[in-house]
A and B are shown apart, each in its own frame.
Chain A
Amino acid sequence: MNLLDDLLGSTGRVEDITPDSLRNARAALDSTIRGARTRHAPARQSANLRSPRPRRKIIVAGTAATAAAVAVAVVPRLSGQRPAPAHPAPAHSTAVTAAFVLREAANATKADPQQEGWPHAAYWHAASIEVRDGKTYHRDIWIAHNGDAILEDSFLPLPPGPQPVQPAGSGLGTLGSKPGWLTWDELYALPTDPAKLGPLLTRDSVGLIDGSPARNLWSTITDLLVETPASPALREALYEVAASIPGIAVNEDYIDALGRTGTALTLGGQTLVINPASGQLLAWIDVTPVGVPGSFPFAYTYTYQGPTTSEP
């Protein structure tokens, strides 16, 4: 149990309704029902209230996507315990468009050599660092095929050592790492044809509140690229779909916390830093919700992201 779940658990406990209150509310409802039956029409006009939107269902069931997956974007694991501090370069105007960068990354992802063991590796492993106030925090997560995950994060208020996350689908992960997160199979089942994936993700993101359909879609795509065992084919498709999003700002000279130069792509509160030549994800910066008091950015620099057979 971590601090967040402790707080949510404490505040989630409320007294049950009393029998009297239950009866009183039922009586009020019954009165309205009688009126509705009499008029054979909606019982009460309350235009300010709206029902939830019709359910939008994403199709993730079915067979896994092509098992003969192509390469996975793997960043070599860095052994240095004291990564260099970030040397950020100021953003500047550039003639290079986000669409160009993202298509280049998609092509590079497609061209990567096939990763041995993929997609039958035991875990997807993502390792990252976060530099804050001069301190470097390490984060490692191992995600099994069924969505279970093990997390080790030196920044979080957790006991030392790897912490198990409850099984996927429970919706109550103890660490908030991947509660209910899509399993490998569910990710594989997503279409890898950009012409099919784009409309699906657009539809799926409609209800998000990121300011515009473009921001909603970009937000969903970044989520699917960061720390997920998305196959190389899916990553390629995600880059292709992202290339169709208008308004993404480009900074070609971003230097991450490890001193690597990458291209920062920003829309709304979400920034991805990638190496277009390899398709590798270098960093992810999240500042949502923009404009909410207390907002602050999270910046993760990825030292490794890929399949592994080694135990956490």
Chain B
Amino acid sequence: MSGQYIAFFILSLLTISGAIFMISFNRVIHMVVALAFTFLSIAGLFILLEAEFVGLTQIMVYSGGVSVLMLFGIMLTQHSKVERSEQKPALRIFTFAGILAFFVAVFYGIQKTPWSQEAVDYSTQNNVKEIGVQLYNNYVIPFELVSVLLLVALIGGIIMAKKEADDE
């Protein structure tokens, strides 16, 4: 049993249990903390696959950014438990069918993908550097387009917030 196997086992257990707890908890803030654990474990899985740059970005954006922002917003809302309304049986069956179809599609897709037989070894390369080289040599234009898109979203958000503030 290698260290990688143990790490994979722990991380995947945490990922799945975080996701399940996120659904089954009653309080919103507990859900967000469970979700933060899932985000973190996914980052761990990336690092296990030697994609440390993606993993660290995952921690920075999702665990450090998105979950904190969610917590920040939720803190201002009500403290009490959320009552869950009982769903109609028809809706339940429909949801279950949807989930089943999704599972079958994903499972079939994974089974049908032709994986190469030999394991790829990136451990000798510095993947932070490689990503930088690729991004700024071969993919400069898409990268810049994405940054412009983000800037537009940012400015749009500010304008919308400003309009609402002026209306009041």
**A and B part of one assembly:** no
- Taking beta carbons and an 8 Å cutoff, which residues of A are in contact with B? none
- Taking beta carbons and an 8 Å cutoff, which residues of B are in contact with A? none
